[in-house]
Structure 1
Amino acid sequence: MQLDLNLLAALDALLEEGSVTAAAERLHVTAPAMSRSLGRLRRTTGDQILVRTGRTMTPTPYAIAVREQVHELLQQVRGVLAPSRDLDLTTLERTFTLRWHDSLVALAGPALLAAVRAQAPGVRLRFLAESSTDTPELRRGEVDLEANASRPTAPDVRAEQVAETRHVVAVRRGHPLTRVGTVTAARYAAAEHLTVSRRGRLGNALDEALARLGLTRRVVAAAPTEAAAFAFVRGTDLVVTVPESTARAAAADLELLPLPLELPPARVYLLWHQRYDTDRAHLWLRQLARTALATAD
């Protein structure tokens, strides 16, 4: 059997996208051409690969079983065929897309951009806002680098912890909690709270920690970002619990109180797809991002 590497690329796109039209757009070919490739794949493998279920197409058990293997094989082929070049930062022309938590953009984004511009003036950075739902852009190569507080579950996504900080309680100046001396867990729980959640969640690990002490709190609202939460706190007696590094950088006009609970530190992870493990420009960017995030204060 004669091997056609174009079929491997087509199979990878079809399995990633689950759609003939989307796979065609990804490989910059026409939908009829992709349909013909799907037909050849079906004849070659003896499997339907994708079957129609209503308005969508569903991968067969065989397709699901080989999805990761196909992707890895394609990356290996591309690695073999791509010439190895030394990285010349002074002539590098590339745009990197970064999806970072909003507080991390404010905290470390300026330092990262300054370092990039100093070393590679032809490189541009696109910072994207986090989505309220989990998105596949990292695995699809549409996002180069993520930075947030969550470890990935996908085996093909790399993660490295680059920083951590304790949590503090942010309140307005003159807040009742600032006049009671030591803030106990009971006094903390009795206050009215905000949560910070891009998904609008009203509960988090704080509630579990309070429950272990036999305490509960009243959460009156959820804000999508720390910056929005600070705006609520400035004019009310609400309290919000946030990473200390974020609060010190973005809420200098607020009072920061120790959290009277045992809570794991807020961790920052750098995430990327394994396709970029040996990409020299990506390695360079990861190192700069690692430094910017680790030294942000």
Structure 2
Amino acid sequence: MQLDLNLLAALDALLEEGSVAGAAARLHVTAPAMSRSLGRIRRTTGDQILVRTGRTMTPTPYAIAVREQVHTLLHQVTGVLAPSRELDLATLERTFTLRWHDSLVALGGPALLAAVRAQAPGVRLRFVPESSVDTPGLARGEVDLEANAGGTEAPDIRAERVGESRPVVVAARDHPLAGLREMTVERYAAADHVTVSRRGRLGNLLDDALAGLGLTRRVVATAPTEAAAFGFARGSDLLVTVPEATTRSAAADLGLAVLPLPLALELPSAPVYLSWHQRYDTDRAHAWLRELARTALSACR
């Protein structure tokens, strides 16, 4: 039987996207053309691959079983038929989408952009905000590189720990606690607080640590970004607890004080991860960008 390698690419796209329309968009073909490819795949395999369930398409058990094998085979075939060439940064034209935590954009974004402009002037960077819900942007190819505090257990996502930062307290410079030689955990808990959460969560690991000491704090607001939380703290009596690395420029620019967390609160340092999809493991341009990102985020080490 003569095999059409185009069907392998179509099958991979169908299994990744879970729909004819999504697969067609990924491969830049029309929906009718992708429907015909799905029909050929069904005849070749003797399996329906995707079946309609209400308004969505659901993969069959066979499709689920071969999904990783199909992706691996396509990656191998692509490597054989289109071997990578030396990377010419001077002529490289490409747009990378980066979904980074807002504080990491402020911390490492300027250095990364400067390095990219100096080495590859034809490359553009799209920094996009984190979503309030987890989305498979890396798997779908919508995001090239993520940087945040969350690792992953997904087998197709690479997550490299590139740094960490201990928690500190940010407050207005005239805050009563800013003038103390040492802030006690009781004074810390008695103050009013703002938390940073893109999901709007009012509590976090810090509240668990306080509870272990028989204490609670009053969180009066949650902010989606650290910049917004710092704005709340400026000119008020509110405290914000965040990783130290993310305060180095913003706190100074806003005239805020950075204070050590009370010694009684033993909290682990916040990790910083770079994450990408395994499809880019051997992509020379992507590897170049990853190395620049590691350097740009070196302040977290």
Give the whole-Å Cα distance in 1 for the aligned partners of 2:71 and 2:203.
38
Q: Which amino acid aligns with 1:259?
A: L
Q: Provide the TM-score with structure 1 as the length reference.
A: 0.95
- Aligned match of 1:27: 27
CA displacement, residues 96-139 of structure 1 (integer Å, 9 cap, x when unaligned): 11111111111111111111111112221111111111122211
Q: Which amino acid aligns with 1:205?
A: L
Q: CA RMSD in A?
A: 1.5
Match of 2:63, SS state, is: helix
Shift of 1:165: 1.4
| 2:100 maps to 1:100 | yes
- Aligned match of 2:156: 156
Query: Which of 270, 282, 287 pairs up with 2:286?
Result: 282
CA displacement, residues 209-256 of structure 1 (integer Å, 9 cap, x when unaligned): 112212221212110000000011113211110111111211111111
Give the whole-Å Cα distance in 2 for the aligned partners of 1:28 and 1:178.
58
- Aligned match of 2:69: 69
- Aligned match of 1:263: 267
| Segment of structure 1 superposing worse, 83-92 or 177-186 | 177-186
Shift of 1:153: 2.2
Q: Which amino acid aligns with 2:286?
A: H
| 2:17 maps to 1:13 | no
Match of 1:285, SS state, is: helix
- Aligned match of 1:218: 218
Preserved contact between residue 108 and residue 296 of structure 1 (Cα < 8 Å): no
Give the whole-Å Cα distance in 2 for the aligned partners of 1:25 and 1:33.
11
Shift of 1:293: 0.3
- Aligned match of 1:234: 234
Match of 1:132, SS state, is: coil
**Identity over aligned pairs, percent:** 79
Match of 2:37, SS state, is: helix
Match of 1:251, SS state, is: helix
Match of 1:84, SS state, is: coil
5+ unaligned residues in a row in structure 2: which ranges? none
Shift of 1:49: 1.1
Give the whole-Å Cα distance in 2 for the aligned partners of 1:85 and 1:272.
21
Give the whole-Å Cα distance in 2 for the aligned partners of 1:87 and 1:29.
28
| 2:270 maps to 1:273 | no
Give the whole-Å Cα distance in 1 for the aligned partners of 2:71 and 2:189.
49
| 2:189 maps to 1:189 | yes
Preserved contact between residue 163 and residue 293 of structure 1 (Cα < 8 Å): yes
Give the whole-Å Cα distance in 1 for the aligned partners of 2:274 and 2:130.
14
Give the whole-Å Cα distance in 2 for the aligned partners of 1:275 and 1:178.
49
Preserved contact between residue 87 and residue 280 of structure 1 (Cα < 8 Å): yes
Shift of 1:3: 1.2
Shift of 1:295: 3.4
Q: Provide the TM-score with structure 2 as the length reference.
A: 0.94
Shift of 1:50: 1.1
| Segment of structure 1 superposing worse, 174-183 or 139-148 | 174-183
Q: Which residues of 2 match residues 112-127 of structure 1 at below 5 A?
A: 112-127=112-127
Q: Which amino acid aligns with 1:113?
A: L
Give the whole-Å Cα distance in 2 for the aligned partners of 1:218 and 1:182.
21
Give the whole-Å Cα distance in 2 for the aligned partners of 1:16 and 1:194.
40
Give the whole-Å Cα distance in 2 for the aligned partners of 1:206 and 1:192.
14
Query: Which of 271, 287, 295 pairs up with 1:291?
Result: 295
CA displacement, residues 180-232 of structure 1 (integer Å, 9 cap, x when unaligned): 54211121111111110111111111111112212221212110000000011
Shift of 1:154: 1.1
Shift of 1:178: 2.3
Count of residues paired in the alignment: 297
| 2:252 maps to 1:254 | no
Q: Which residues of 2 match residues 141-180 of structure 1 at below 5 A?
A: 141-180=141-180
Shift of 1:15: 1.1
Give the whole-Å Cα distance in 1 for the aligned partners of 2:300 and 2:71.
36
Shift of 1:292: 0.8
- Aligned match of 2:83: 83
CA displacement, residues 128-167 of structure 1 (integer Å, 9 cap, x when unaligned): 1111111222112221111111102211111111111111
